[in-house]
Structure 1
Amino acid sequence: MLIREFHEPDWVQVWPIVQEVVRARETFPYDPELTADQAYDMWVEASPGRTVVAVDGDAVLGTAKMGTNRPGPGSHVATASFMVARAARGRGVGTALCRHAVDWARERGYAGMQFNAVVASNVTAVELYRREGFAVVGTVPGAFRHPTLGRVGLHVMYREF
C-alpha cells in the first residue's frame, strides 16, 4: 500500500468511498444527499491543506484530508478526516492514513491534532485513534443521529505533539 497525494483522476474512485460512507449515516455527520460536486469541494483540501489516497496498484483503498483546524489563534492545531473503502477495512488502511496525517502535521510545526466529531459508536475509529495517542477530551451527548442506535455522542479527540 502506498499513500500519495490525491490527483483529479482519483475522484472517480474516491467519490464512491465518500458516497458509501456518508450514505451509511453511521460515522460522518455529512448530509447523506451530498452530491459528487459538493463532496469534492468539501473533501479535496486546498493548499496548505492536503488530500491523499491510499492505493494498492491502481485501486484506491482509502482517502484522508488534513489541514488547519481553525484559523487565527487556533491555527497551531491541525485536523484530519479519513474514509476507507468497505472492501479494504481491517487491512490497516485507516491506521496508515492516520499516521500519515500525524506525520504531515508534525512536519509542518503544528502543536497537535484535533478531531472535531468522532461518532462515539464508531468503536473501530475511536480505538484506532486511542492507539495512535489521541484522547477523548469531550463528548457532545446525542449530537449524532445514528440510523439504528438513535442519538449518540460526538467525541472531540486530541493529541498533542
Structure 2
Amino acid sequence: MAAGQARGDASVIRAVSPADHDAIWAILEPVIRAGETLAIPRDMTRQAALSLWLSSDRTVRVLEEDGAVLGIFYVRANQMGGGAHVANAGYVVAQHATGRGIARRMCAASLDLARAQGFHGMQFNFVVSSNVRAVALWQNMGFAVVGRLPEVFDHPALGYVDALVMFRAL
C-alpha cells in the first residue's frame, strides 16, 4: 500500500496544499449555503470559511481520488488545558461523492491521526440530530451519544432541532 493510501481503495489522504483551496471551497460552499449540518453562518465568505477550516490550531487533511479532492477533515484539541487530551474533528464530503464511504475513510484516518498526536478520546460537540446518516456512521465508528442539546440548531427546513454530543475513547 502506498504511503498515505487509505484502507484498500484508490483514495489518498494527504495534507492540504494552497493548490487545494479552490477544491476545498467547492466542497464547503454548498454545505455552508444549505445550512443543514454545520453550525456556521450560511452567508460565510470563501475567505472566512478557508480561514476557519485551515486555522493553525487544526491538522487538516483532504481525501483525494484520481486527482480530485472529494473530502476535507480536520483534527484539533477539543479544549485547552485539562481537556486538551481529547480531540475534536470535522468532516465535509463533496456532494457528488456522498454514499461512497468517503466520510467513513476520513473518520478512520482522523482517529488514527488523533491517536498519533497523543489524544485519548474524540468528541463531536454538535452533531445535528437530523443528519441521520452522519449520526449512524459515527455510531458505527464507535461513537456514543453522551448528550442531547434540545432545539439548539435552527435548520432551514425543519426549524429547531437537537444537536448531539458524541464521544469515543481512542
Considering the TM-score relative to the shorter chain, is it more than 0.5? yes
TM norm structure 2: 0.91
Letter matched to residue 43 of structure 1: W
Does 2:103 correspond to 1:124? no
Letter matched to residue 156 of structure 1: V
Letter matched to residue 71 of structure 1: M
2:86 to 77, 81, 84: 77
Question: Do 1:45 and 1:66's aligned partners in 2 also have CA atoms closer than 8 Å?
Answer: no
Moved over 4 A (4+): none
Name the residue aligned to 1:26.
36
Residue 147 of structure 1 deviates from its aligned partner by: 1.3
Residue 95 of structure 1 deviates from its aligned partner by: 0.3
* Long gaps (5+) in structure 2: 1-10
Does 2:145 correspond to 1:133? no
TM norm structure 1: 0.96
**Per-residue CA distance 1:55-88 (angstroms, 9 max, x = gap):** 1122111100111111111100000000001110
Partner of 1:126, secondary structure, is helix
In structure 1, distance between residues paired with 2:26 and 2:160: 26
* Long gaps (5+) in structure 1: none
Percent identity for Structure 1 against Structure 2: 41
Partner of 2:38, secondary structure, is coil
Does 2:47 correspond to 1:42? no
RMSD of aligned alpha carbons = 0.9
Partner of 2:104, secondary structure, is helix
Letter matched to residue 76 of structure 2: G
